Amino acid sequence: MADFSNYMSPGRKGYLIGIGGVSMSSLAEVLLGMGIVVCGSDSNRSGNVRSLEAKGIHVEIGHRPENIPADIDFVVRTAAVRDENPEIRRAREMNIPVFERTEAWGAISRDYGNAVCISGTHGKTTTTSMCTHILMAADKDPTVMIGGTLPLLNAGHRVGHGNVIVMEACEYYNSFLSFHPTVAVILNIEADHLDFFKDLYDVEKSFRAFASRVPDDGFVVANYDDLNTMQTLMDLDRKIVTFGLDPRADVHAEHIEYLGANSHFDIYYKGRRFTDVTLHVPGQHNVKNALAATAAAICLGIRPNAVKYGLAGFNGAGRRFEFKGKFNGADVYDDYAHHPGELKCLLDTVETLNYKRTVLVFQPHTYSRTAALFQDFVTQLKRPDVVLLAEIFAAREQNTIGISSAALAQKIEGAAFYPTFEELEKALRALAEPGDIILTVGAGDVYKIGEHLTENGT
């Protein structure tokens, strides 16, 4: 089997299928920075695609066999690109090696003395972003791969010259088993991606395999408060550093004060005060994310002040409780939450902010997730004052289940389903009032509603 490391040299030429995706566009720029000639394709000319084109990367719109140049050395694809893709078929016919995106990132991570890989069902983007802030404050000049936009970088990636890489590590399709972590962070483990995994036990097996990839002198950072995580790592022969709100965790918080959207707390490490932190993102879940980032920093030997000031400078990542503006006196926020556990964290946070009403616009993500976790979604969607449901965002799937957001609406008193964004936005404009918080929520394109709403908001 081909090893992507053999293609990481200046002058090589690579073709990336789905190059406009968050991780793929970051990969394209990292490879470009290594002197590799990069081109690729995507289904539409998104903002990421336009940014790549501005850097001289040629992008074909649409997937056709003739797109593959004769002089290509390798092809990289996302997990969503199947073998039936015409460009994949053509590459196979030409005997061009085809790599998964995570194989490429995994090979890149091998070049760093310290590879911090952030995994978990929830919180990966935020925690990776917090780690980035800490590493920058510590002058570590890190290379970064984030599944979202970080204002500090004005991008989702960074090419550094230090010996640390920090990156999100997703379990879907066992993708993170291509990585080579020296510090493997596990934020939490829940049943998700059940179109690939059989059940929660299957998910846990994957996370244990991920943790086992850490070398003997590396670290596994684990959420002490999460029963699934601790059970998954039971008797694992690796150095484990725990974090959590429980004072028995190696890294834990004391004297937590929640001050509106901010919080202040002391961080303790193995019984001794490490530093104090002021956090400018709301919610208990973000306190836990900050503890995870701190634990990873401790594993790297980073000084307390870099943690303190790095976290103080973090004001959130793109699409993570991101303030979009105002409409008719209501505050409009957008969030990527697409799992019931993430919805719970989001709504728990919003309930502490004393808005008059919570108006939730939710777009479920994938048919399989909606069906598998249907009752858990219903439980959380009953909590807001007003619920407006957009149709399910298909992503990589076909609707072989025959499910619709209308089925959720039928189970939630007062909820309304709107087949189109136009109808939903019209309803939202009619009901928004001063004192409301409007949340556009989901991993699809629901954010467009909030952006359109606030373009001329007051």
Using CA atoms, how far residue 441 sits from 151, 268, 390, in Å, is 20, 34, 10
Instruction: Let me know if 125 is a catalytic residue.
Output: yes
Look-up of token digits 């193995």: 270
Instruction: Let me know if 232 is a catalytic residue.
Output: no
Q: Give the 3-state secondary structure percentages of the chain, helix then strand then coil, rounded to 5.
A: 35, 25, 40
Measure the CA angle with vertex 318, ends 312 and 321; round to 5°: 75
- Name the active-site residue from 29, 60, 121, 124: 124
CA quadruple 291, 296, 298, 303: dihedral sign:
negative
Give the Cα separation of 186 and 189 in Å (integer). Answer: 8
Q: What is the DSSP letter of 365?
A: B
Give the Cα separation of 61 and 383 in Å (integer). Answer: 42
- Name the active-site residue from 87, 100, 168, 391: 168
Q: Which two tokens stand for residue 360?
A: 């939730």
Residues in Cβ contact with 235 at an 8 Å cutoff, skipping those fewer than 6 apart: none
Q: Which two tokens stand for residue 183?
A: 């510090």
- Name the active-site residue from 125, 242, 349, 370: 125
Instruction: Let me know if 458 is a catalytic residue.
Output: no
Side by side, the strands of the sheet bearing 143-150 are 155-158, 143-150, 164-168, 114-119, 183-186, 219-223, 239-244, 251-259, 262-269, 272-279
Q: What is the Rg, in whole angstroms, of the alpha carbon atoms belonging to the chain?
A: 22
The dihedral region occupied by 381, where left means phi > 0, alpha psi between -120 and 50, and beta the remainder, is: alpha
Give the Cα separation of 341 and 321 in Å (integer). Answer: 15
Give the Cα separation of 15 and 90 in Å (integer). Answer: 12
Give the number of other Cβ atoms within 10 Å of residue 266's Cβ.
14
Q: Which two tokens stand for residue 195?
A: 């179109």
User: What is the set of active-site residues?
Assistant: 124-125, 168
